[in-house]
Amino acid sequence: MGEPALKSMTIDEFIVWAEKDPEVKYELVHGHPRAMSGGSEAHSQIGTNIAFEIRTRLRPPCRVLNEASITRDDRDDRYYVADVAVTCSPPEPGRRFIKSPVLIVEVLSDSTANHDRGTKVPDYMQIPSVQEILLVDSREARAQLWRRDGRRWIVEDFTGDASLPLMSIDAELPLSAIYEGVAF
């Protein structure tokens, strides 16, 4: 006889469940917990660089968050952790997830790229406040920017000495700054 199937969880149930094992980070995907793999040094450096570079360009009330919890208002079975996100909503004590993100950043690695592209990006696109989704590769100097344009999304690829035009925060982010200190 096989293992019993895990019962589908709501976000509230998931949060209580995940707090029982704080050593492991989880996301909630279609009602089921999914353990997150540990990131490489490059992954961590890229995320830190992006948050720093964005922070120096933001104007209040906007703010940048690392490991930002993202949910959809219309779904109670998804709870993702983005590498970096920007919101212009004021902070609220005790809030467990970012409200009204305008920019979401995922750093891609071998173990996360398929999930980030195939599961998270389509869900992020359904969040009305999200204006841009930035996917940054940790294996080579390459980024892909998804930008909302009315009812459609425009996708641009960046390599080399490009600068990323982040319209959601009215800033440019040099690819060289994202990858500063990263060895491939």
pLDDT digit string (tens) for 100-135? 999 999 999 998 999 999 999 999 999 999 999 999
Q: pTM of the prediction? A: 0.94
40-178 placed in CATH 3.90.550.10 = no
Average pLDDT over residues 143-147: 98
Q: Is the pLDDT of residue 5 over 70?
A: no
Please give the C-alpha separations between residue 108 and each of 5, 18, 67, 113, in angstroms, as whole numbers.
29, 24, 14, 5
92 or 136, which is more confident: 136
Q: pLDDT band for position 137 (50/70/90)?
A: very high
Per-residue pLDDT, 3: 57
Per-residue pLDDT, 116: 95
Whole-number average pLDDT of the chain: 93
- Cα 40 to Cα 156: distance, rounded to the nearest angstrom: 25
Q: Kindly give, in sequence order, each residue whose CB lies less than 8 Å from that of residue 133, ignoring residues fewer than 6 positions away.
A: 103, 104, 105, 106, 121, 124, 125, 145, 146
CB 60 within 8 A of CB 79: no
